[in-house]
């Protein structure tokens, strides 16, 4: 088989990398081994690497290429471009050997017999050193779509071979220390999926930013997939929790984000050209709707999991995959059109955690926001370049600011301190290359090239899901932790998670789960609209309706939008830490904070001291707010029952009396969230949801026995407990100096609560700020025998060590 010039996909696999290259070998591997498992891959044939070498030798191109590129300095961009063009034109002008043309024609005729006369094909490159671990870049060689007829196929095949010598490909091989003639190229000829009439996209079986392994990320847009890679559109994005895919009772879609899909690429047959595509505008309906149904999302995710499992078993180590998919607009069928190992996160040492902390962001207003790539911080001077012809002026250490990038930009991308683009999403070319280079990028800012100015210093922060750009050179620090060297204390160390977008990264810390996830952070960041405004949308004044329509992308069911997006925020945190417990506190907005949400002024009273006003449990059973609280219960049900994330434990905040607690549990029952306290039988209790209550008011301490009779545990909120015990407003700067959790009255209250919970064998932990701020306070908690201490992520490592040391001292006593 090695001497064949063309080979059907059904006859090759990963053992044939030398003749087929990574992409084509992978296609053959999937067709041969995964078709029986339901994974659909369009077939075709491969023009082998042997055929490529035969072509070069027969036309004398091998000698010509070696001579032309001899002594090339890839940093001399003008000379690189000149020599590369000479090589490409020479290859495209050289005739293919007659016997190779015959085999290509025979391969195409075989496809016509299988799929129909003049079948459309995709012609893809597959280099023998491409898509192997440590050697993978975004689009180093060309792909030609919608090729029809044997003659056109021969032209496209030769153009694909010539694309092995683009500026970027030559530069890439030089950086990787590959000899230009040692790297060969095979050409895949694959049945074209009519995604120009449907949709297409990219799927990763790992979170590309954090490396979190238990999620599948699916991106997609209308039409042909090149628009996503080029960054011309911001695709829809779907996250699926991998571990619950095997259970058909669950729908583990933990996030859905509507992209900006204003354009799509479609077929545009043209005479005398192998570029058979054009870009057109999408309809209003297409822009407002998701590209896939839930069933289609889950089918793709299951295929992704099957593909990852196969390649992991084959390689003997975890092998996350980078997969391209397409949906045929005629048949409605989904297909996998490419799959290759992901190379960035696969090689990461997850025992090392590196933290970037921006020091001056609190006083510096953001200039721009976009989608973050890289989880880093960097500073540099702005250099705006709108045309790749001008990249020669770019200097090392500058911040590249442009509309979008494609492979022509790669020679300078590796020199950049950071990259900022107007367009693109997480799977755009700029995002993919930035990850591999290990530099931060903010993509999809929409206006960076207009708002930023050449020569200005800026700081880029990509440590959250929003990439933020600040003016000036702000200080930051980098901390690296070796998790293998950390001790394991008996006291459970948990993490406080404010934003869902940091959950995947924070999940790598050594923790027993999440001691506090705040719903109000999710509502403010993911929804931004008062729940009663969503419930009463039909009767709102027109200005509010227009604003809410914009914020919800004209969603027809505002209530479902609210429930879904709250559920997605909770689910992302729950999935990150599964199966470890995740304690989610119901919303604890004060009236002034609820007023800040869109529509809030229509429903919220003005209070002189919101800190001790209408908040927490008092809201939940109030007829004015009860419908809104039920939406929170529905979101919690969706996470636990529909998504299968039963590690979520709801918690009731600021519950002043046991009667308030009972009334809250009754409303949870009305909403279908069945709790242990309300269960009538042992079986019902086993299936019921545990519910904790915050201990943050003196009444919670004094009546601890009564509270523990209806709740399954207590989590101490040291911030509010200090405020209420000492009779101060922690928002008041005048008395702030009095507020200290180390006050004897506060500590005595905590001693009582811990003892009560331990005596009744109920959960007891702390989620307040004190253990993060005061190491000696954490030691006090250990002395009292607390079950868990929940900390801010940046204090987990040092506090964990102190807890372990304190336990050792107590043991010696």
Kindly give, in sequence order, each residue whose CB lies less than 8 Å from that of residue 340, ignoring residues fewer than 6 positions away.
Answer: 22, 23, 26, 131, 136, 321, 322, 323
Length of the chain: 813
Spatial distance between the Cα atoms of 170 and 179, rounded to a whole number of angstroms: 10
Q: Which of the 8 DSSP states describes residue 615?
A: -
Gyration radius of the chain over CA positions: 30
Cβ count near 674 (within 10 Å):
17
Residue 221 · residue 281 · CB < 8 Å: no
767 classed as catalytic: yes
Q: Rounded to the nearest 5 degrees, what angle is found at the Cα of 66, between the Cα atoms of 62 and 67? A: 115
Residue with the two structure tokens 């793709």? 300
Residue 773: CB atoms within 10 Å? 16
Query: How many Cβ atoms sit within 10 Å of the Cβ of residue 349?
Result: 9
Is 429 a known active-site residue?
yes
The C-alpha atoms of residue 306 and residue 580 are separated, in whole angstroms, by 25
Residue 129 CA to its chain's centroid (Å): 28
- Measured CA to CA, the distance from residue 284 to residue 234 in angstroms comes to 15
Tokens coding 414? 């590796």
Structure tokens at 398: 């500058």
CA distances from 660 to 531, 585, 664, 693 (A): 21, 16, 6, 11
Cross-strand bridge partners of residue 267 = 277
Exposed / middle / buried, residue 623 (Cβ in 10 Å: 0-12, 13-18, 19+): exposed
Token readout for 1 is 């088989």
Determine the 3-state secondary structure of 170 from DSSP: helix
* Among 712, 718, 714, 694, CA closest to 778: 718
- Active-site residue identified among 633, 655, 695, 767: 767
Longest distance between any two alpha carbons in the chain, whole Å: 93
Which of 215, 177, 190 shows the shortest CA–CA distance to 41? Answer: 190
Rounded Cα–Cα distance for residues 560 and 535 (Å): 10
Catalytic residue among 180, 383, 429, 530: 429
Query: In 3-state terms, what secondary structure has residue 265?
Result: strand
Chain centre distance of CA 363: 28
Asked if residues 123 and 45 have their Cβ atoms less than 8 Å apart, the reply is: no
Decide if 691 contacts 668 (C-beta within 8 A): yes
Distance CA 233, CA 750 (A): 53
CA geometry: angle 278, 280, 285, nearest 5 deg: 145
Cα angle for residues 94, 100, 103 (degrees, 5° grid):
145
Catalytically active residues, by annotation: 429, 767
């Amino acid at each position: 088989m090695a001497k064949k010039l063309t080979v059907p996909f059904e006859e090759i696999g990963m053992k044939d990398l030398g003749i087929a290259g990574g992409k084509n070998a992978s296609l053959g591997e999937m067709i041969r081994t995964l078709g029986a498992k339901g994974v659909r891959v369009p077939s075709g044939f491969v023009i082998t690497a042997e055929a490529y070498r035969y072509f070069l030798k027969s036309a004398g191109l091998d000698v010509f290429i070696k001579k032309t590129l001899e002594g090339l300095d890839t940093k001399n961009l003008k000379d690189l471009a000149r020599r590369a063009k000479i090589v490409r034109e020479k290859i495209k002008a050289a005739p293919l050997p007659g016997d190779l043309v015959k085999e290509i024609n025979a391969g195409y005729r075989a496809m016509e017999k299988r799929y129909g006369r003049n079948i459309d094909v995709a012609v893809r490159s597959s280099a023998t050193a491409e898509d192997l671990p440590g050697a993978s870049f975004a689009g180093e060689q060309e792909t030609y779509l919608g090729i029809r007829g044997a003659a056109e196929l021969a032209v496209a095949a030769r153009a694909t071979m010539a694309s092995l010598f683009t500026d970027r490909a030559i530069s890439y091989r030089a950086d990787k220390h590959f000899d230009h003639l040692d790297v060969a190229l095979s050409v895949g000829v694959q049945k074209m999926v009519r995604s120009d009439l449907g949709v297409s996209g990219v799927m990763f079986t790992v979170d590309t930013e954090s490396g979190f392994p238990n999620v599948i990320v699916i991106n997609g847009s209308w039409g042909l997939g090149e628009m996503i890679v080029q960054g011309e559109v911001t695709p829809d994005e779907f996250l699926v929790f991998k571990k619950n895919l095997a259970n058909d009772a669950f729908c583990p879609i933990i996030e859905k984000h509507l992209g900006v899909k204003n354009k799509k690429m479609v077929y545009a047959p043209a005479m005398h050209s192998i570029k058979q595509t054009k870009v057109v505008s999408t309809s209003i309906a297409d822009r407002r709707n998701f590209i896939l149904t839930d069933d289609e999302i889950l089918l793709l995710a299951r295929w992704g999991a099957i593909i990852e499992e196969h390649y992991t078993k084959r390689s003997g180590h975890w092998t996350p995959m980078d997969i391209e998919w397409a949906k045929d607009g005629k048949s409605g069928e989904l297909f996998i059109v490419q799959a290759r190992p992901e190379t960035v996160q696969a090689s990461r040492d997850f025992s090392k955690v590196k933290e970037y902390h921006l020091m001056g962001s609190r006083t510096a207003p953001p200039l721009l926001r976009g989608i973050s790539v890289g989880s880093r911080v960097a500073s540099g001077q702005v250099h705006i370049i709108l045309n790749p012809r001008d990249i020669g002026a770019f200097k090392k250490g500058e911040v590249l600011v442009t509309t979008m990038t494609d492979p022509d930009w790669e020679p300078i991308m590796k020199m950049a301190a950071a990259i900022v683009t107007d367009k693109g999403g997480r799977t755009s070319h700029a995002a993919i290359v930035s990850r591999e280079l290990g530099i931060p990028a903010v993509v999809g800012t929409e206006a960076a090239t207009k708002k930023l100015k050449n020569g200005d210093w800026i700081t880029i922060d990509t440590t959250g899901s929003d990439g933020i750009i600040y003016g000036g050179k702000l200080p930051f620090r980098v901390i690296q932790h070796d998790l293998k060297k950390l001790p394991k204390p008996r006291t459970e160390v948990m993490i406080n998670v404010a934003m869902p977008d940091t959950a995947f990264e924070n999940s790598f810390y050594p923790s027993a789960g999440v001691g506090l996830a705040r719903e109000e952070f999710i509502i403010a960041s993911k929804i931004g609209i008062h729940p009663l405004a969503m419930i009463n949308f039909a009767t709102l004044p027109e200005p509010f309706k227009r604003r809410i329509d914009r914020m919800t992308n004209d969603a027809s069911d505002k209530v479902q939008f609210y429930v879904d997006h709250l559920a997605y925020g909770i689910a992302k945190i729950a999935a990150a830490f599964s199966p470890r417990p995740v304690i989610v506190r119901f919303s604890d907005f004060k009236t002034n904070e609820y007023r800040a949400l869109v529509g809030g002024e229509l429903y919220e009273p003005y209070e002189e001291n919101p800190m001790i006003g209408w908040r927490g449990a008092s809201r939940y059973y109030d007829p004015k707010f009860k419908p809104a609280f039920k939406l929170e219960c529905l979101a919690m049900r969706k996470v636990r029952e529909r998504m299968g994330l039963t590690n979520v434990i709801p918690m009731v905040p600021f519950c002043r009396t046991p009667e308030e607690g009972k009334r809250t549990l009754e409303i949870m029952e009305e909403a279908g969230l069945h709790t242990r306290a309300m269960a009538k039988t042992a079986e019902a209790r086993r299936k019921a949801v545990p519910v904790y209550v915050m201990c943050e008011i003196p009444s919670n301490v004094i009546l601890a026995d009564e509270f523990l009779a209806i709740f399954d545990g207590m989590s101490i909120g040291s911030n509010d407990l200090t405020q209420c015990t000492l009779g101060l407003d922690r928002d008041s700067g005048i008395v702030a100096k009095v507020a200290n959790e180390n006050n004897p009255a506060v500590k005595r209250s905590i001693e009582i609560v811990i003892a009560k919970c331990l005596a009744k064998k109920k959960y007891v932990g702390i989620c307040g700020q004190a253990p993060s701020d005061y190491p000696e306070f954490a030691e006090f908690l250990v002395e009292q025998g607390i079950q868990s201490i929940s900390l801010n992520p940046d204090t987990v490592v040092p506090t964990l060590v102190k807890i372990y040391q304190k336990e050792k001292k107590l043991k010696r006593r």
